[in-house]
Amino acid sequence: MIKVYTSSVIDAPADQVWAHIRDFNALPSWVPAVADSRIEGGAPSDKVGCVRNFNLKEGGNLREQLLALSDHTCSVTYNILVSPMGVENYVATLRLTAITDGDRTFAEWMAEFNCPPGREQELTDEIGNGVFQAAFDNLKRQLGRR
Amino acid sequence: MIKVYTSSVIDAPADQVWAHIRDFNALPSWVPAVADSRIEGGAPSDKVGCVRNFNLKEGGNLREQLLALSDHTCSVTYNILVSPMGVENYVATLRLTAITDGDRTFAEWMAEFNCPPGREQELTDEIGNGVFQAAFDNLKRQLGRR
Amino acid sequence: MIKVYTSSVIDAPADQVWAHIRDFNALPSWVPAVADSRIEGGAPSDKVGCVRNFNLKEGGNLREQLLALSDHTCSVTYNILVSPMGVENYVATLRLTAITDGDRTFAEWMAEFNCPPGREQELTDEIGNGVFQAAFDNLKRQLGRR
Amino acid sequence: MIKVYTSSVIDAPADQVWAHIRDFNALPSWVPAVADSRIEGGAPSDKVGCVRNFNLKEGGNLREQLLALSDHTCSVTYNILVSPMGVENYVATLRLTAITDGDRTFAEWMAEFNCPPGREQELTDEIGNGVFQAAFDNLKRQLGRR
């Protein structure tokens, strides 16, 4: 089991960041790598158990299932059902915490998964930097105070 | 802020107990005090943010909102929007954990709320014993191995 | 029960901040309000259960007991045995989390306590701002990159 | 990273179980596989950072370091510095939670570690059953009512 942990600070209130990312179908609006997304079966995107089906801009289809959603702790947990990445048992959690000093947001995104031997470093970098940090950087641009 | 904490052991696998109680609209099937329940607006009962509207057998209507639902940690968090109990800022979490020794379930139900001075003990007993433990006792009867 | 929560960002690595604040007897070096401190009975300051006995610059003696210390999660939990503040059942936790983006530190300090009716707001402000945030501000000056 | 999780129920109050196992140097009194133990350097066994040095009855020396100790959550976290088991990055946590129904104790012991490919199942069984569950079984005999 590989663990990836990425955390950042968004210069916007946690309520505002949560409103921006809570929608499990909203990846295209804040994760740069994602081209499009739909919830399978037309379910509401905050129905626990729903599946988002999305495509990457560079090609590749993913299906991810919503395992947990909390408006109480501003967090979302999901797993990967299908992806081109070659990972197994992938479960990730994204969580926001209020920074009272400056009314900002501490954002954490962590994942655990198995992968073929030898691909650990490549996948850790691709997921932790290429996806998670890239998305945080985008949130900073989209929501950060100037 | 008053804190109530009740925990018990159900002699059935955690997956089975979770399947029995996951439905936010299912209180009448396992909480003895509840007469009926419906989800307002016809929303799915696992849509985070949905409101269950239910009546007690002894009279009294409650509206509770689903704040968090996790199939990952087998937990549910909700608050009270309307109730006859005279509590404020009520937030509760119910969580199941697998007991590997004997394939049983550790069940915890905890609540925090404010109430008028002098009613702390009465409400702690009514909620912790009258509702939470009574429901656990019922689960033990419904699901426990004989 | 009153809850106070203060969080901030220190522009220094979490390991460095933890090394600075881990010592339960080190309050005078980073909490501005504290004049001096000693561990009762000459115990090591990382012995769980030890008591720090310290005086405030503006006068007032406190005795606080170490309930938990973790080098794993960079956190410390303690309660107040004696203080001039008029609080009861006071338990506080200070925790550091690494911010991978920029190699900084997310610092959280939270307390729960009971107090006489009418003093809630005053104590929340005194503890959350006067003690916790003032200490974080000092850490930012002491450890922050330029 | 391999994860091992073992949980059980001890029919004794959590305070009593905690008093029995809190001492980081007390393994010989409740973990059947352990022959003897000492804290290196004569440090108190509740000093976070101390190292216990102990031998197994079947032979084999281990050195484990106390990473966290909490009288607040009745938990202890430690890692393995030296062992004959062939594990790496081993970190384990033992935690007790009160079961209010019957005044019993929910005990959890979990470990994470790396190991050579092919030894995952053997080590999971040896640690989860041979050490953790065996110790819980012993606690049930030592402290359980009747």
Mutating which of D18, D23, D47, D90 best tests the C interface, going by the most C Cβ atoms within 10 A? D47
Q: In chain C, which among 87-106 make CB contacts under 8 A with chain A?
A: 97-102, 104, 106
Q: In terms of C-beta density within 10 A (0-12 exposed, 13-18 middle, 19 or more buried), how is residue A36 classed? A: exposed
Distance from CA of A38 to the nearest CA of C (A): 30
Note the pLDDT of residue A102.
Answer: 98
Nearest CA in chain B to C2: B1
Percentages helix, strand, coil for chain A (3-state, rounded to 5) are 25, 45, 30
CB-CB neighbors (< 8 A) of D104 in chain B = 9
Give φ, ψ of C41 to 5 degrees: 75, 5
Query: Counting one residue from A and one from D, how many pairs have CB atoms under 8 Å apart?
Result: 6
**pLDDT of A140 over the 80 cut:** yes
Across the interface, which of C99, C100, C133 has its CB nearest the CB of A101? C133
Longest dimension (CA), chain A: 44
Q: By percentage, how much of chain A surpasses pLDDT 70? A: 99
How far apart, in whole angstroms, are the C-alpha atoms of residue C63 and residue D108?
33
How far apart, in whole angstroms, are the C-alpha atoms of residue A109 and residue A8?
9
How far apart, in whole angstroms, are the C-alpha atoms of residue A132 and residue A92?
11
Note the pLDDT of residue C146.
Answer: 65
Q: Is C45 on the interface with D (CB under 8 A)?
A: no
CB-CB neighbors (< 8 A) of D117 in chain A = 117
Amino acid residing at D135: A
Across the interface, which of C43, C49, C70 has its CB nearest the CB of D77? C70
Looking up tokens 């109480």 gives A72
Q: By percentage, how much of chain D surpasses pLDDT 90? A: 97
CB-CB neighbors (< 8 A) of A46 in chain B = 47-49
Q: Is A68 on the interface with B (CB under 8 A)?
A: yes
Q: How many CA within 13 A on the CB side of residue B54?
A: 23
Q: Is C48 on the interface with A (CB under 8 A)?
A: no
Note the pLDDT of residue C43.
Answer: 97
Q: Which two tokens stand for residue D14?
A: 């959590």
How far apart, in whole angstroms, are the C-alpha atoms of residue C67 and residue C52?
12
D52: confidence class by pLDDT, cuts 50, 70, 90: very high
A120: confidence class by pLDDT, cuts 50, 70, 90: very high
Let me know: does D99 contact D125? Beta carbons within 8 Å.
no
Across the interface, which of A102, A104, A136 has its CB nearest the CB of C101? A136
Across the interface, which of A7, A98, A133 has its CB nearest the CB of C7? A98
In Å, how far from its chain's centre is CA C69? 12
How far apart, in whole angstroms, are the C-alpha atoms of residue C120 and residue C127?
11
Residues of chain B with pLDDT under 70: 146
Nearest CA in chain C to B3: C1
Question: Complex ipTM, two decimals?
Answer: 0.96
Q: In terms of C-beta density within 10 A (0-12 exposed, 13-18 middle, 19 or more buried), how is residue D83 classed? A: middle
Distance from CA of D6 to the nearest CA of C (A): 21
Average per-residue pLDDT for chain B: 97
SS3 of residue B93 by DSSP: strand
Mutating which of D67, D69, D78 best tests the C interface, going by the most C Cβ atoms within 10 A? D69
D146: confidence class by pLDDT, cuts 50, 70, 90: low
Cβ contact B7–D97 (<8 Å): yes
Note the pLDDT of residue C12.
Answer: 98
Q: Is A133 on the interface with C (CB under 8 A)?
A: yes
**pLDDT of A146 over the 80 cut:** no
CB-CB neighbors (< 8 A) of D124 in chain B = none
Q: C30: closest CA among C13, C48, C10? A: C10
| DSSP H helices in A40-116 | none
Across the interface, which of B1, B2, B117 has its CB nearest the CB of C3? B1
Per-residue pLDDT tens digits for A58-96: 999 999 999 999 999 999 999 999 999 999 999 999 999
Let me know: does C6 contact A100? Beta carbons within 8 Å.
yes
Q: Is B49 on the interface with C (CB under 8 A)?
A: no
CA distances B107 to A24, B79, B99, C141, D136, Å, are 29, 19, 10, 46, 19
Q: Is A3 on the interface with D (CB under 8 A)?
A: yes
Per-residue pLDDT tens digits for D10-49: 999 999 999 999 999 999 999 999 999 999 999 999 999 9
Cβ contact D99–B6 (<8 Å): no
DSSP string, chain C: -EEEEEEEEESS-HHHHHHHH--TT-HHHH-TTEEEEEEGGG--TTBTT-EEEEEETTS-EEEEEEEEEETTTTEEEEEEEE-SS--EEEEEEEEEEEETTTTEEEEEEEEEEE--TT-HHHHHHIIIIIIIIHHHHHHHHHHS--
Looking up tokens 């091992």 gives D4
Query: Counting one residue from C and one from D, how many pairs have CB atoms under 8 Å apart?
Result: 50
Across the interface, which of B44, B73, B91 has its CB nearest the CB of A68? B73
Looking up tokens 């973990």 gives D31
Distance from CA of B127 to the nearest CA of A (A): 21
**Tens digit of each residue's pLDDT, chain C (146 residues):** 899 999 999 999 999 999 999 999 999 999 999 999 999 999 999 999 999 999 999 999 999 999 999 999 999 999 999 999 999 999 999 999 999 999 999 999 999 999 998 999 999 999 999 999 999 999 999 999 96
Q: How many CA within 13 A on the CB side of residue C65?
A: 12
Amino acid residing at B142: Q
CB-CB neighbors (< 8 A) of D127 in chain B = none
Let me know: does C126 contact C116? Beta carbons within 8 Å.
no
How far apart, in whole angstroms, are the C-alpha atoms of residue B135 and residue A43?
31
CB-CB neighbors (< 8 A) of B71 in chain A = 48-49, 67-68
- Identify which has the larger pLDDT, C145 or D63: D63
* List of residues 6+ apart from D1 with CB closer than 8 A: A1, A2, A3, D89, D112, D113, D114
Q: Is D71 on the interface with C (CB under 8 A)?
A: yes
